[in-house]
Chain A
Amino acid sequence: MTTHALADSATMLRRQLRHMKRYPSLTFMLAGMPVVFLLLFAYVFGGALGAGIGGPTGGRADYIDYLVPGVILMTVAAAAQGTAISVAMDMTEGIVNRFRTMAISRASVLTGHVLGSLVQTMISMVIVLGVALLIGFRPTATPVEWLAVIGVLVLLTFALIWLSVALGMVSESVETASNLPMPLILLPFLGSGFVPTDSMPTALRWFAEYQPFTPVIETLRGLLLGTPIGGSAYLALGWCVVIALGGYLWAKKLYNRTR
């Protein structure tokens, strides 16, 4: 039934978009968490941290620029949590079993979730970026660099969503599904998202430098603000491909398992 794979995935995407339209509050909730962190770090900690990171002027304005890439990653992580929850909800209700008894492309249920979440994440990223620009985020990126930023973000989102589709399926309940992706939201803190890694103690710094979010943050920061990127771009792409492939294979295996 591969001939209908595209049509079936489009049908499932329409289903997801309809869910989203019916409950816009979920999309806004997913965007709300990173916005809160953005404001918190900009206005509560921004003055002190800005002095600490020693930018050109060393103040709050510099810190906002430093902060935004990390907050954007947090947005992706929060959206991934939303994906895991909606996949788990789908699996615990009977509708997926109905899909399994129909002659449709097997993967289309999952592709629908992935594409739907991708759209949802992009919407919340636009919201977060909008707020960032309002409070003084001043990126220096050229149109080509902006395109590259979008490319990196789509790839990262795609990777984390496949991972959370698998997490949503491996969870026996919706509650578990909402907890499993939690560490993803913490990762920007344990990397270069909020403070430079060289200010951390050795063990933590080692983790922070080698974990997947740091190269992505450094790449975004470089593209948006012109800081040096170095090898981070390749590392970032590598991580995204590995996570996407791993998540995809895991999700597919979980979906096809027969009890």
Chain B
Amino acid sequence: MNTRPPAIVVTGLRKSYGDKVVLDGIDLHVPRGTIFALLGPNGAGKTTTVQILSTLIGADGGLISVDGHDPAREPDAVRAAIGVTGQFSAVDNLLTAEENLILMADLHHLGRPEGRRRAAALLARFDLTDSAKNLASTFSGGMRRRLDLAMGLVGDPRVVFLDEPTTGLDPRSRRDMWQMIRDLVAGGVTIFLTTQYLEEADQLADRIAVLDHGKLVAEGTAGELKRLVPGGHVSLRFTDPTTFDAAVRTFGDVPRDDDALVLRVPSDGGVASLRGLLARLDEQAIEVAELTVHTPDLDDVFLAITGEPQHEKESVR
């Protein structure tokens, strides 16, 4: 599309803290104007990757280019091109929302009128106009995250890093945030996103890389990743062994739990396949106590790729 270098290119990136290897040679390629998601559990090295790419910390090895510049040799060129929104909101609690944005505008040397204009525009865009004069310390989690994102955008960055932008947000704030991220990329910005949620990567990202113990274990589009997963299923629970046996006869060789009287029928979770499933149950007049649709999540992806669940057993819901 154009001859400018890709937004982010990383080859063989390494980082250790003492004996602990955090990043063990990762490669990334993020074209301009796309959303790239780095997916992984806590401690996989996601935040370290963002910190290195955003010039906060140095790498131990590997080649890095952000907007065509090496963060180690030309940190200011990289800093001028990026906006960062951290996992823990980096806002000044003793300033109001508007003052926080004007502080950013001043540090970008935009001049008073332009700074005020841009602050007002960002407040409106992130639905913060009514709270513009309130101290950031009084904000809810969702508002802080929106202000944080807005602060990262004051300098019109070409590459935006979002480190777990929706962790800890309620479902509604999460959806609002997703929409704001989509609007951003529509404006031509490149987004590098880290997340623990497959759903989030699925909703937003053009490409997803899965990071585990400092290594990339898979990369591809959401669709490609999901094909690696055994797939979703519909879980059917029965109240008595007789109906359970009838169901087993109907669906044949599917995973089952004889003690709990549960059958797991493979399904993509779509309406058509559900309708088919319900029709078969009706034909045989099989009474179901409970039906749950299970779509593949990060646990499944991890299980499929690494052969182990991402969390310890007890934390699996």
The answer on A and B forming one complex is: yes
Question: Which of B58, B77, B79, B89 is in CB contact (< 8 Å) with A101?
Answer: B79
Which chain B positions have C-beta within 8 A of A98?
Answer: 84, 86, 90, 151-152
| A5, B88: Cα distance in complex, Å | 28
Q: Is A150 an interface residue (CB 8 A)?
A: no
Could you tell me if B80 and A103 are in contact, using CB atoms closer than 8 angstroms? yes
Contact string against A for B residues 56-100, beta-carbon threshold 8 Å, 1 for contact and 0 otherwise: 111000000000000000001101101010101111111100010
Stretch at the interface among B103-111, B188-196, B288-296: B103-111
Contact string against A for B residues 1-37, beta-carbon threshold 8 Å, 1 for contact and 0 otherwise: 0000000000000000100000000000000000000
Which chain B positions have C-beta within 8 A of A101?
Answer: 54-56, 79, 82, 84
Q: Which of B79, B91, B94, B155 gathers most chain A CB within 10 Å? A: B94
Q: A100-B55, A101-B55 are in contact. Are A94 and B90 (CB under 8 A)?
A: yes
Could you tell me if A7 and B88 are in contact, using CB atoms closer than 8 angstroms? no
Could you tell me if B84 and A93 are in contact, using CB atoms closer than 8 angstroms? no
Question: Which of A1, A93, A99, A104 is in CB contact (< 8 Å) with B93?
Answer: A93
Stretch at the interface among A17-25, A140-148, A185-193: A17-25
| Chain B minimum-CB-distance residue to A20 | B94
Q: Is A258 an interface residue (CB 8 A)?
A: yes
**A39: min CB distance to chain B, Å:** 31
Q: Which of A1-23 contact B (CB under 8 A)?
A: 1, 4, 7-8, 11, 14-15, 18-19, 22-23
Q: Which of A18, A19, A95, A97 gathers most chain B CB within 10 Å? A: A95
Which chain A positions have C-beta within 8 A of B58?
Answer: 258
Q: Please report whether the interface of chain A is mostly helix, strand, loop or mixed according to DSSP.
A: helix
Could you tell me if B79 and A103 are in contact, using CB atoms closer than 8 angstroms? yes
Q: A97-B90, A98-B84, A101-B82 are in contact. Are A15 and B57 (CB under 8 A)?
A: no
Q: Which of A1, A22, A101 gathers most chain B CB within 10 Å? A: A101
| A11, B55: Cα distance in complex, Å | 22
| Chain A minimum-CB-distance residue to B91 | A95
Q: A102-B155, A103-B80 are in contact. Are A8 and B90 (CB under 8 A)?
A: no
Could you tell me if B57 and A102 are in contact, using CB atoms closer than 8 angstroms? no
| Chain B minimum-CB-distance residue to A100 | B56
Could you tell me if B90 and A11 are in contact, using CB atoms closer than 8 angstroms? no
Q: Which of B126-155 contact A (CB under 8 A)?
A: 135, 151-152, 155
Q: A94-B86, A98-B90, A102-B155 are in contact. Are A7 and B54 (CB under 8 A)?
A: no
| Chain B minimum-CB-distance residue to A15 | B103
| Chain A minimum-CB-distance residue to B92 | A95
Q: A98-B84, A258-B58 are in contact. Are A104 and B107 (CB under 8 A)?
A: yes
Which chain A positions have C-beta within 8 A of B57?
Answer: 258-259
**B40: min CB distance to chain A, Å:** 20
Q: A19-B94, A22-B94, A102-B155 are in contact. Are A11 and B86 (CB under 8 A)?
A: no
Which chain A positions have C-beta within 8 A of B82?
Answer: 101
| A259, B48: Cα distance in complex, Å | 11
Which chain B positions have C-beta within 8 A of A95?
Answer: 90-92
Could you tell me if B99 and A18 are in contact, using CB atoms closer than 8 angstroms? yes
Question: Which of B95, B107, B152 is in CB contact (< 8 Å) with A18?
Answer: B95
| A68, B164: Cα distance in complex, Å | 55
Contact string against B for A residues 220-254, beta-carbon threshold 8 Å, 1 for contact and 0 otherwise: 00000000000000000000000000000000000
**B131: min CB distance to chain A, Å:** 16
Which chain B positions have C-beta within 8 A of A93?
Answer: 90, 92-93
Known: A100-B55, A102-B104. 7 other contacts (CB 8 A): A18-B94, A93-B90, A97-B56, A97-B84, A98-B84, A98-B90, A258-B56
Closest 7 CB pairs of A and B: A94-B90, A98-B90, A103-B79, A103-B80, A11-B106, A101-B84, A103-B76
